Structure 1
Amino acid sequence: MLYSFLVHLVQPFLNLINGRPIITGKEHLPAGNYILIAPHRSWMDPVLLALAIFPKKFAFMAKEELFQKPLANWFLRKLNAFPVNRANPGPSAVKTPVRILKQTDLATIIFPTGSRYSAKLKGGALVIAKLAGVPLVPAVYQGPLSFKQLFARHPRKIAIGEPITIDRKMKLNDEKLAEMEQTIQAAFDQLDQQLDPTFKYQMPPKPSDDQF
């Protein structure tokens, strides 16, 4: 209930200060559950992607440090977020999203790089997709990267690509993981070019007190 309430509160506010977003490729979204994968470029990514896909609802991975305060813990869990230790992810980092994808009507958003300060793809989303039996749906976001930049009226743009099916019989060895990661990166690059052929993402330096 809080999830839907915030969508109907935040979306009109963002449209007021920044204009309506440009969203392409929604026809590629499967009817059932799936994992939406995207490059992590802003702390706003999960919010903006979730707004673009609504009324489909999502569960989110979030760094466990964000859950330390009781109010934040309650709020994040109401938004379908669950904690993950990014430095040392345990079995729950896979088991929790697999359970959610299999047993609920929630899809999941995963950023394969794991951080805004890394360009290296990791294989967790592939493992989760295989175990849950759901496709990966690539997406990219271009636009303001901070709340302040929203007021400059540079448009929020999101492109969604065709689903990538993971064969449940596939052995995810190092060679296959590398091959699939190349497929995912190629999908991201194609979507970026589709939105803006001149786009080039500049990775920000990692601050010492990274909170998101």
Structure 2
Amino acid sequence: MFYAYLRWLVSFLVWVVNGNAHYHNRENLLDTRENYILVAPHRTWWDPIYLAFATKPKQFLFMAKKELFNNRIFGWWIRMCGAFPIDRDRPSQEAIKYPVKMLKKSHRSLIMFPSGSRHSSDIKGGVAVIAKMAKVKIQPAVYQGPRSFSGLLKGERIDMNFGHPIDVSDVKRLNDEGVETIANRVQIAFDTLDEQNEAYNNGKKLNPLTYIYRIPLGFIAFILVLLTLVFSYFASFVWNPEKHRK
């Protein structure tokens, strides 16, 4: 329930800030009854918001670096939304075992950014391992749009594009060759979706007149965020999502 509320709240907030998002080929998304791994290049801190909004009502788990959990409110938020911490310096088997178990036994799919950081283009092998072990498909997507907050605020166009699911069941072994095969399929999908987005993008910015209604809506969003922050702070002392997860 909190996941759905927070997704709505944050999506409403970024709509007020930008309001120029376009979604393409959502018919390629797998059925909501089927679990999968949603993968995308990590280009901004807000691309997970657009991914989660575009795929609603499907809910997701996602990996997050352990440092993000240090803040009481934000850490509680992301735990409530299905995030689990990853130590990038010393990754453990839990980083594989937990998402595999949840993909098999829960109603939630998994969001992964296989390139890791926001400024990397290297396709990691983790998505291949998890997809094979959980026996799920990989759903590629790409974000193309502003990468700075000023660009987001100016209403620069955003294009979210979804590709055809990638079936990895034909890859028999997860050796170096098998992982590379899956990584290549994912990268080809990303490149294809980026090319399509280039064709979609006409460079048109948001009509400035929209600020007439976006500014008062922004005030409402601000109040809702403040109320949610206060609620979350006190709720974090009462409800431990980590214990509930276990």
TM-score > 0.5 by shorter chain: yes
2:194 to 189, 192, 203: 192
Q: 2:176 aligns with which of 159, 174, 177?
A: 174
Rounded to whole Å, the distance in 2 between the matches of 1:102 and 1:168 is 19
Aligned 8 A contact 1:123 1:181 in 2: yes
**1:46-85 aligned within 5 A:** 46-85=48-87
Matches within 5 A, 1:1-212: 1-31=1-31, 32-167=34-169, 170-197=172-199
Q: Do the aligned partners of 2:20 and 2:156 also contact (CA within 8 Å) in 1?
A: no
The answer to whether the Cα contact below 8 Å between 2:65 and 2:85 also exists between their aligned partners in 1 is yes
Percent of aligned pairs with the same amino acid: 43
Uncovered stretches (5+) of structure 2, i.e. residues with no partner: 202-246
- Whether contact under 8 Å (2:143, 2:158) holds in the other structure is yes
Structure 1, unmatched stretches of 5+, are 200-212
Deviation at 1:14, TM superposition (A): 2.3
Shift of 1:21: 1.8
Count of aligned residue pairs for this structure pair: 199
Higher helix proportion, which one? 2
The answer on whether the counterparts of 1:44 and 1:146 sit within 8 Å (CA) in structure 2 is: no
Contact 1:112/1:123, CA 8 A, preserved across alignment: yes
Using structure 1 for the length normalisation, give the TM-score: 0.87
Task: Tell me the TM-score normalised to structure 2 length.
Answer: 0.76
- Give per-residue Cα distances to partners, 1:100-148, cap 9 Å, x unaligned: 1111111111011111122111110011011111100110001122333
CA RMSD of aligned residues (A): 1.8
CA–CA distance in 1 between the matches of 2:62 and 2:182?
Answer: 22
Q: Please tell me whether the aligned partners of residues 61 and 84 of structure 1 are also in contact (alpha carbons under 8 angstroms).
A: yes
